[in-house]
Amino acid sequence: MSIVKICGLSTPETLEAALAAGADMVGFVRFAPSPRHVELAPGRELSAMARGRARRVLLAVDPTDQELEAALEALDPDLIQLHGAETPDRVRAIGHVAGRPVVKAIGVAEAADLDRIAIYRGLVDGVLLDAKPPRQATRPGGHGATFDWRILDGYGSAPALDPGPWTMLSGGLTATNVAEAIAVTRLDAVDVSSGVETRPGEKDAALITAFVEAARAAFALAPASRRDA
């Protein structure tokens, strides 16, 4: 089953656009340095809007237990996406506190970066492969950069890399390039944030709709996923 996720939503209007377009997952960022950060009160309202219409994802970056518990209480997410430098032990602890599926983001710039997936095997329900941020970046994602998707060749046939139920592709995706990304990687889940914005943190309803439609069309035409190959 294919998955389309729109992340970094922060207004009712753009969230409604994502839901109306048929996004499978919607993401809410809890990380103050990000232009997509949502405070707890508006986050609660946004999450309530999406309840039962899409799977709600809480994106957190090295959260403390206190920060995590506050976000869980307010947003009541269906999944937790960890986008920081969380160690395997910390991921395990967060999963215990959260009591719901956990996805770990892995920064990718070269094939060797995929080796990090193995250390989370058995601890997460999936991974998100994102472009590694620039060296001086103040946040781990949302920079609109891609990585060379060709390094994922053979990914699904390497048991040591297989993290769990699914793998999601992220990093610099747009309505223009998502079809190529799906064709090259043969992954069955994609995530977009900056690629549906007019400027950092400002989502555009038309771009959201175009991305979902382009991803759906590409999934329909794509060969079997790597997991099924």
Is 191 marked active-site?
A: no
Is the Cβ–Cβ distance between 143 and 105 less than 8 Å? Answer: no
**Which residue among the candidates 7, 62, 78, 125 is catalytic per the annotation?**
7
Tokens of 137: 């970046």
Contacts (Cβ under 8 Å, ≥6 apart) of 193: 6, 7, 8, 27, 36, 141, 142, 170
**Which residue among the candidates 24, 113, 115, 130 is catalytic per the annotation?**
130
Segment (H or E) for 168:
strand 166-169
Give the closest residue to 141 by CA, choosing from 58, 2, 33, 46.
33
Is 130 marked active-site?
A: yes
Catalytically annotated residues: 7, 130
